[in-house]
């Protein structure tokens, strides 16, 4: 940025927020989202602290576990 006196002013770009959520916090947020019930304050706190990559990985693991549990239940009921 050039100032009125002709000098260039260096500006620092804002740093993205630090994502500091633990694995347990990420798992809790993903599992609550599967249930579909969240308070607005919890959602806002999660949006600030959760790492999107961790959320995606945890969601894929949770979906795989859910499918495996359903298949196990079906096999238990259908097969003698």
pLDDT in tens, 43-74: 788 778 888 898 999 999 999 999 999 999 99
Predicted model pTM: 0.66
38 pLDDT tier (thresholds 50, 70, 90): confident
Here the tokens at position 45 are 């706190």
Q: Cα(73)–Cα(55) distance, rounded to whole angstroms?
A: 27
Could you tell me if 51 and 20 are in contact, meaning their C-beta atoms sit under 8 angstroms apart?
A: no
Count of CB atoms situated within 10 Å of the CB of 25:
15
pLDDT at 28: 86
10 Å CB burial of residue 51 (0-12, 13-18, 19+) is middle
pLDDT in tens, 5-37: 666 666 666 666 666 778 888 888 888 888 887
């Amino acid at each position: 940025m050039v100032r009125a006196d002709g000098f260039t002013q260096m500006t620092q770009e804002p740093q993205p927020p630090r994502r500091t959520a633990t694995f347990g916090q990420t798992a809790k947020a993903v599992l609550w989202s599967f249930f579909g019930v969240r308070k607005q304050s919890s959602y806002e706190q999660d949006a600030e602290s959760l790492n999107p990559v961790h959320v995606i990985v945890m969601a894929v693991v949770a979906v795989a576990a859910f499918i495996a549990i359903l298949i196990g239940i079906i096999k238990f009921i259908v097969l003698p």
